[in-house]
Amino acid sequence: MRRIIQIPTFFLLSIVAINTFAGGFDYNKEDTSGYSDYSVQPNFQVNDGTNYTRNGHAVYFFGGYVYTYRLLNSTTSSIYNPITNVTYSFDPNSLFSNSASNIEVGAGREMSKYINFEAAYIQQFTANKNGDIGGIATTTSVKMSGLLLDMGIAFNPDDQFQVLGKLGAQLSQFTTSATVANSAAFTFNDSTKLDPAVGLEFLMQCSQNFAFRIDTMYVADAQSNQYSDGQIDTLAGINVSL
């Protein structure tokens, strides 16, 4: 009885094994022209989606270090010393620092497979520069706090290395001060302003939930345009999805 059970069981398992391993292959049949192709060419079925494909509804957080390069112009401007009641003329390109360091933290959401919306807070560390105005020793100090809102469009949402185009606006609060001949002086244009922003995001995914991120954004100085023509911000950080 045991042998009677073993024999059909062996044949049944053999048939299942053959179907399992051979069922996924597509063998070429003999050509009616008389040419026979006896090569075995498996046709594997590959899923269109990968582990890195955007799901269209993920919430994510990001942050990192930002390097800012300011596009300072050479338009003659002025600075007022309230103690001496003297107004000095100067060249912004030679008086202010054209670079600064920042930290940026933010959050976003995928609205679809291709569209993101996100918000980020940017805190710029004080950027100082030593110079002179008319031969008088001068030290300038610039700092900024900002809120960046933007929309991203993914060009290749199924890839591990994804590229997004970004368009948005940045609300910035600049505080600029100077010390002229050891006396405090303040510039005229300390203000809050809203400027357009455009750029690119590069996302290198290590898993579905973690990625390294590089952003490059150009923020135009559309309101005042007194000291600069805008700035270029480059973020190097991480991206964590929930």
Q: Is the pLDDT of residue 189 over 80?
A: no
CATH number of 59-241: 2.40.160.20
Identify which has the larger pLDDT, 57 or 29: 57
Q: Is the pLDDT of residue 17 over 50?
A: no
d(CA 198, CA 166): 6
pLDDT at 191: 76
What residues contact residue 53 under an 8 Å CB cut-off, 6+ apart?
113, 157, 158
pLDDT at 190: 63
Query: Where residue 227 falls among pLDDT bands split at 50, 70, 90?
Result: confident
pLDDT at 33: 54
Q: Is the pLDDT of residue 95 over 50?
A: yes
pLDDT at 176: 83
Q: Is the pLDDT of residue 211 over 80?
A: yes
Residue environment code for 180-190, b if the CB has 16+ CB neighbours within 10 A, otherwise e:
beeeebebeee
Query: Where residue 9 falls among pLDDT bands split at 50, 70, 90?
Result: very low
Compute the average pLDDT of residues 154-166.
Answer: 97
Taking the chain, what is the end-to-end CA distance rounded to the nearest angstrom? Answer: 58
Q: Cα dihedral sign for 98, 104, 108, 110?
A: positive
Q: Is the pLDDT of residue 2 over 70?
A: no
Compute the average pLDDT of residues 14-30.
Answer: 46
Q: Where in the chain is the domain with CATH 2.40.160.20?
A: 59-241
Identify which has the larger pLDDT, 153 or 33: 153
Q: Is the pLDDT of residue 201 over 90?
A: yes
Model confidence, pTM = 0.74
pLDDT at 180: 78
235: number of Cβ within 10 Å: 25
